[in-house]
Structure 1
């Protein structure tokens, strides 16, 4: 029978079912209890209600041929196999007229959610029997499926509980016949199911009165809790068991019982073994190599073995007249007593304690004590068992190790380099003061790999801590050498350093951590930078000097009378240049004071006439380029004064004065005045010599200054102006 009833005919003409459905208002379909949709004879979706749209998760358009056979996003068979819309039950209904009753499919929504649906489909025909379309009423049966699955799961769990329980379980009918037994029950007695099930339970009990009593109690509805009994196993052995059971009554009549069978055979065997072990314990008590003592609630010794007598260097009789407090050093007596009192009261089951003891000959020994309690069935304290081991040698070794560790810590703290250690996982375990100073922070608990705040590679790119040299050393278990990195402090300052991470291993070679030393290489980097700058500067100066020497050589050669004249003049000029270089080198090629330069150039040339030479002027510093050019000029002027000018006679004088002019747009200007007097009458040369050209080149072309050389009868005078680019002091 279809879930869709036939629709009544209209007054004018009896409509077909399909036509009637199409004529209905949308609200009529929405009022129907369930999801409903209608397809035409080609399968195109023409009507659906709101519940169908909600289950589909979409609202298909009906104003054209968009969705065929179904409005769902996808369809699947119950086993999960894809079900094309063209092969679904609706497709069969519109093409073949086949109906579907309570068929199951899986509907998938556009959001991927799937649910099982129960569909009922019927073809819709006109009055001549032609298929006009079909109607599908479907519903979400997720809850039904979930309930079925839950029932199935519980049945499986109950079956699994019965069959695979670790405790034997069997069901006995009211007349004593075994109806069912699980694996544990069969395994306990060694029977197969055919040998056990269907037989009377009394056949397997070793004691007939016992099984009779059990059945009688159960028939009366009494519950059994751990009822002791004995069962015969297939191999002839007897199993000691405890039976827990209750009855199932129906209309007051005993129908069956469920019995749990717990095998306690091992407990009986253990009891026998316990008695044997007590005998063995008594034999080994005194043979033990560690001290054993029993003490009452007050600490008085009740029993001691030979090892303890030997350890404490006291006789058995002497110890049995003492309490363990009597041989305990006063430094540990109160703590040991407090712990023992708590143990006696039941606050502690046991405790361990290290204490000192003094032997009769005055020797101090260290004892590790493990104290436990022996109590009766009511929990009342009977006596304490104290196991005592002499750990004097171990204690001395620990003290030595601790002292060694302290010395190592002191050593690491005293090192000027940053040092820290980690465990095998990279967690920081120790750091010295230098590490704190270098990193600019106190490492926090849980910090990993490095004490620094941030790390960078030498090219400035970030270096994650888990990729730093220390992390590599731990992960690859090898020392890392030759690496460099940059540490950034929280204040933003950076420190270049070289790390020396080295893995640490225990005696078995197992990696236990690592130690790292961070060497601050800031000064080295600064020195390298300064060295590079100096090399670059030296390279530049050497090139400039070579150009100057080349020019001196060329001009001297062009105006020399002969080779000896060339050698003399060229040597004089090169020596002047050399003296300027010496002065600049002493100043590390920084600004050179003018008075020092003038004295360095002139005084070696005028040794015999030094008293007739005056050098005066305010303090002024010259940059290396200006100093070299001015050296050449002063050398030329002095050489000419010695050979032809004022210093060629015994009465002539020479003065070099300078002053600083006011600042101009390009900086301050140095004005020098060279004046010769008292020498031979000066006559102007008929042609310009190499010296004049050299001086003009140095002042005007090289320095951008001006030079005015005058050959006056009273003496040569030369006025020079040079722009100063460096700093000067007046």
Structure 2
């Protein structure tokens, strides 16, 4: 606005407006910003080239000139259409109210939009009369986008800290915990009040460890998976790995950021694994594994005691046999074929499970690990066969298979959508709930997911080979904390949270994955409803503050004294408060007109309220109409108490309304005063009258007719009813 202020310097004979009109047409182009000028009627008389460029058009200033603004269309920042006659320039030239740093959305003829920062100053002549106004505006779309990006990133960072699956806490240089996320608190079982604000050493089971940690961090060293033990609230000890670094400002240590990874389960598993290895070593020392050597024909050359016990035969008996002799007839061909390939050098070794017959006819299951011993020339010398009796294991496997069938039946009965894949992502199983959620019948062998199509939460397509299940299998890790949207073939979309988890066999080899899809449709609807309520609350607060500001300004402008201002302003604020209380009681939904009228009039009229009759059909007003009606009825009632029918002992007021128009789309209300002092028409229109006109005619697009008859004031209000238009 500094450029506008510079242009306002005028000679003693010309006003600011006259100076701008008298200047050359190109004078406004010298201002580094979009500028335009309107006369006192709001007609566009001058604008510079930057304004035309932002508008995307060059409006005429001749006979077919335009009023208030040269833009194609205007909107409020929340997207509500803003008529040109309601824009800030219209307010400036019609009421003399300037605008500082207001934001409006301008739409060009090609449909593109930008956010404009508007500054308007009213131009007056030497007698203070409005001659016009000048508007300096600029495109701040990039700034608004940047502000939104900063807000979003801040929200993302807050969400990352609070909802991270890994424990995270901040510790200041004195060792006091400043903040901890949900995972950290859940790990140790403390509430934020019990954890935050205490010294970190209180929770470490090993004082030397925490002393070493704090010393390293205060010196700027970074900790990477530092092992420590933390004491949980229930007294248990948690084994953790701490990854942390320090934050310094101006060379001074400020605080540390510590990631706490719970490895208690891994620690226990590792301890169990070491115990198992010790037991396994002792078992091998007991020689429970069968070992045999065989020549090229399969004849046994050497056997140990373990294999003799496995087969129920003596050593001499076995050394007079080939291993084909005790092999079950159905398994001989496979073992012979593999052994022949091994002799020829096509296989270095092979693994085979086969059945063997004991002399008593008992069948045992053996796992054969066959390898070769060769001459330096590569010629086959003999085969070494390590043999394990897996009969019990085979029976266990059979039970496991039966258990798997039971588990499949159990998963099938679950109400949650569950499916499994193999290691390559091909679907191997899905339950009925998964098919119902997908809205289709998946095919065994489909890749990655049972759904038809997938989308990210922002609506962008999510390829199946990039879905959470694909990530879990490709990276070999569970995926948590993500959301996605499944689209059914009929077009309906279901937001859900996936829980893909890789599955490994006993050797740690990836064999597939299981995924559970949790439908969060209801949660999303609740979040959406909550956002709508918050947006509505923000909107209501802004409107209320704007209304209060307008009431204060206008009341002060027409008050005769400070005491008069206090009385009038307090009455109007109380009316606004009563309207808000009533709307809150009705949860900011439609309010019955009769309840509204009684709630507004009773406090103003006091004991005289018994002389007020209210009659009319059932009509509900939306919040906007209810607020405007409250202000209008309050002004009428206040005037009646001070000067009208309620100022005497005999005066009465009747309020009645009816529904008019097609489909009862119009409300027609009449206010009639009788029996009061003789009425003399006022010599000037007061703020109360203008306030009522603005509430009814401008805010509600209705009609307001106030008549000062000698026998009493009458008022006719007519407004369209929202939702009843054809």
Q: TM-score, normalised by structure 2?
A: 0.46
Q: TM-score, normalised by structure 1?
A: 0.45
Q: Which has the larger radius of gyration?
A: 1
